[in-house]
Chain A
Amino acid sequence: MEIQRIVALIKMELKKLIREPAYLFLTLLFPAVLTLTFGLAFNDPELGMSFDFMVPGLFAYACIFIIMTVAQSFTDERAKGLLKRLNTTPMTSGDFMGSQIISNMIIATSQVLIVFLLSILMGFNHNANVSGILLAFLIIALLSLSSVGLGLITASISKSAGTASGLSFIFILPQMFFGTFIPVTNTTRIIAQILPSYYVTDALTSIFNGDALTSTNILIDFAFVSIVSIVIVIIGIQLFKKLGNK
């Protein structure tokens, strides 16, 4: 892997984020709007609704949409012949995938920062210290890895950007409803327990409650998210190499 290539590709990805309105909305404005909306709608303890309970889920929720942006971006660039053109240069797949992973980690971190600051503005109370907040950011960065992987899997089986948007909901919806801020039932917990977002939300809830960062619960969640995210991104890269780059 070459740093010069990876930096050039990351710059290109971040310029796309800033200059393409659809990507800008999905990645940065959407989490902001979501946080403000939820902060206003669900911040009434008298009615039994706690915004504090929802914030960890909002962190994960924002990051899940990376699945859609990655899937759309890859199918679109493939359709326009851009991936083929990149492949005529000495760039390796390691350079390319490395740049995708790093740029999406930067995006995920920005999303979390927006959600976190707006949540504080909306009255979010937490007991996490600086180390806890940094760990929360790291866990979200790991979740972005799994989102990139699921985006690549979606792009591999989609023929167009439109199809990719639709198909990405196969991975988005379960994580949205069973793994973030919506309370799970005994039945949905079975599904939730195979989803990385469930463990991310669980770990973040513990961190914001002020639990020790070395608590078994947080460590197990961290280990699960790390392993599953790495496995998913490897599957995504392999599948995209085989099917998606044609």
Chain B
Amino acid sequence: MVIRSKKYDSMSHEDIFNPDNNIAIEVKELKKYFKGKFETIKAVDGISFEVKQGELFGFLGPNGAGKTTTINILNGLLKPTKGTAIVEGYDVLKDLKKVKELIGVCPQEPAIFKFLNARENIELFGNLHLMPKEELKERTNNLLERLDLLEASKRKTKGYSGGMLRRLNLMIALINNPKIVFLDEPTVGMDPRARRSTWEFIGSLKNTNKTIILTTHYIEEAEALCDRVAIIDYGKLVEIGSPKKLMEKYETKNLEKVFMKITGRRILEGM
């Protein structure tokens, strides 16, 4: 049974995908606490936001701010302590299987089977999404070509450079042609040229009407790519809006300074 948020209760399936009501992700009062030996860590502390379909939405904040925890709740790896998270109309707590069919996840550290080659890695995940054989082959070739790994695709990934592994990490997240893509620090460790080229690729995904959730430390990345950003600090959402509007609101030239004005510290201090 499909569980929808109250907002969707009175809507038909078509309504949900109607551009006028195009909410891809709806998060309400989301909390995730981890109980330690001596204290409870509030990794996510009551955040609420919405992401529209086709939007490239950035999560910005220092290490430990709660970005990855929020993403892990949205993709079903973690259960929230409190609050709700609705992905494409499906509650992550009640209809996780359906959510997993609609998403693609690119984790922070490349999670790749090193004894397989690039093609085998991508096809493994495509098979887990039950993709038809022909479609899987075609899409694998397409991704390998677009991200410049076609030549190396039959080599075991054990010998790949960091940049190649990151690109493969991204391809695996996209193999099932997901409606929503979670990109957790996708360009960490890439050289500037590879980073630029990955930005272009991520930007091009917007043309395919995918909703992209991007977490990043790189201010430049967020400014260049994101339609809107949410700034998170100590598990709380401290600001949300388009990079341009936020910079106008705080009368600054970049998002780093916005963050500094709000929190009194630099985003990179947490790294």
Interface residues of chain A, those whose CB is within 8 Å of chain B, are 2, 4-5, 7-9, 12, 15-16, 19-20, 80-82, 84-92, 95
Q: Does B160 contact A (CB under 8 A)?
A: no
B109-168 contacts to A, CB under 8 A, are: 109, 111-113, 115-116, 120, 123-125, 127-130, 156
What residues on B are CB-neighbors of A88 within 8 Å? Answer: 75-77, 100, 103, 105
Inter-subunit contact B115/A19 (CB<8 Å) = yes
Alpha-carbon distance between A15 and B116 when the two chains are bound, in angstroms: 8
Inter-subunit contact B76/A12 (CB<8 Å) = no
What residues on B are CB-neighbors of A92 within 8 Å? Answer: 97
- Having A12-B116, A85-B172, one finds 19 other A-B pairs with CB under 8 Å, namely A2-B130, A5-B127, A5-B130, A9-B128, A20-B115, A84-B77, A85-B105, A85-B107, A86-B128, A87-B77, A89-B100, A89-B128, A89-B129, A90-B97, A90-B100, A90-B101, A90-B128, A90-B130, A91-B128
What residues on B are CB-neighbors of A5 within 8 Å? Answer: 127-128, 130
What residues on A are CB-neighbors of B107 within 8 Å? Answer: 81, 84-85
Residue of B nearest to A87 (CB): B77
Alpha-carbon distance between A12 and B122 when the two chains are bound, in angstroms: 12
What residues on B are CB-neighbors of A8 within 8 Å? Answer: 123-124, 127-128
What are 16 residue pairs bridging A and B, where the CB atoms are less than 8 Å apart in the complex?
Answer: A2-B130, A8-B123, A8-B124, A9-B124, A9-B128, A16-B115, A80-B109, A81-B107, A81-B109, A82-B112, A84-B111, A88-B75, A88-B100, A88-B103, A88-B105, A89-B176
Contact of A15 among B77, B103, B105, B115 (CB under 8 A): B115
Alpha-carbon distance between A19 and B121 when the two chains are bound, in angstroms: 14
Inter-subunit contact A12/B124 (CB<8 Å) = yes
Residue of A nearest to B97 (CB): A90
Contact status of A15 and B111, CB under 8 A, knowing A84-B77, A89-B128? no
Alpha-carbon distance between A91 and B127 when the two chains are bound, in angstroms: 10
Contact of B129 among A12, A16, A84, A90 (CB under 8 A): A90
What residues on B are CB-neighbors of A87 within 8 Å? Answer: 76-77
Alpha-carbon distance between A244 and B123 when the two chains are bound, in angstroms: 26
What residues on B are CB-neighbors of A15 within 8 Å? Answer: 115-116, 120
Alpha-carbon distance between A9 and B112 when the two chains are bound, in angstroms: 14
Interface residues of chain B, those whose CB is within 8 Å of chain A, are 75-77, 97, 100-101, 103, 105, 107, 109, 111-113, 115-116, 120, 123-125, 127-130, 156, 172, 176
Question: Which of B97, B100, B113, B116 has most chain A Cβ within 10 Å?
Answer: B113
What residues on A are CB-neighbors of B101 within 8 Å? Answer: 90
Alpha-carbon distance between A242 and B178 when the two chains are bound, in angstroms: 29
Residue of B nearest to A23 (CB): B115
Residue of B nearest to A82 (CB): B111
Question: Which of A8, A85, A87 has most chain B Cβ within 10 Å?
Answer: A85
Inter-subunit contact A85/B111 (CB<8 Å) = yes
Task: Give the shortest distance, in Å, between B111 (CB) and chain A (any CB).
Answer: 4
Inter-subunit contact B127/A4 (CB<8 Å) = yes
Alpha-carbon distance between A90 and B103 when the two chains are bound, in angstroms: 10
Q: What are the 6 tightest A-B residue pairs by CB atom distance, in nearest-first order?
A: A8-B127, A85-B111, A81-B111, A88-B105, A89-B128, A19-B115
Task: Give the shortest distance, in Å, between B162 (CB) and chain A (any CB).
Answer: 15
Inter-subunit contact B111/A80 (CB<8 Å) = yes
Alpha-carbon distance between A1 and B240 when the two chains are bound, in angstroms: 42
Alpha-carbon distance between A82 and B129 when the two chains are bound, in angstroms: 16
Alpha-carbon distance between A87 and B128 when the two chains are bound, in angstroms: 10
Contact of A4 among B77, B130, B176 (CB under 8 A): B130
Question: Which of B76, B101, B128 has most chain A Cβ within 10 Å?
Answer: B128
Alpha-carbon distance between A90 and B126 when the two chains are bound, in angstroms: 11
Alpha-carbon distance between A171 and B112 when the two chains are bound, in angstroms: 30
Alpha-carbon distance between A92 and B107 when the two chains are bound, in angstroms: 20
Inter-subunit contact B113/A12 (CB<8 Å) = yes
Task: Give the shortest distance, in Å, between B90 (CB) and chain A (any CB).
Answer: 12
Alpha-carbon distance between A86 and B77 when the two chains are bound, in angstroms: 10
Question: Which of A20, A82, A90, A95 has most chain B Cβ within 10 Å?
Answer: A90
Task: Give the shortest distance, in Å, between A87 (CB) and chain B (any CB).
Answer: 6
Alpha-carbon distance between A90 and B75 when the two chains are bound, in angstroms: 11
Residue of A nearest to B127 (CB): A8
Residue of A nearest to B98 (CB): A90
Question: Which of A2, A82, A88 has most chain B Cβ within 10 Å?
Answer: A88
Alpha-carbon distance between A9 and B124 when the two chains are bound, in angstroms: 7
Alpha-carbon distance between A4 and B135 when the two chains are bound, in angstroms: 14
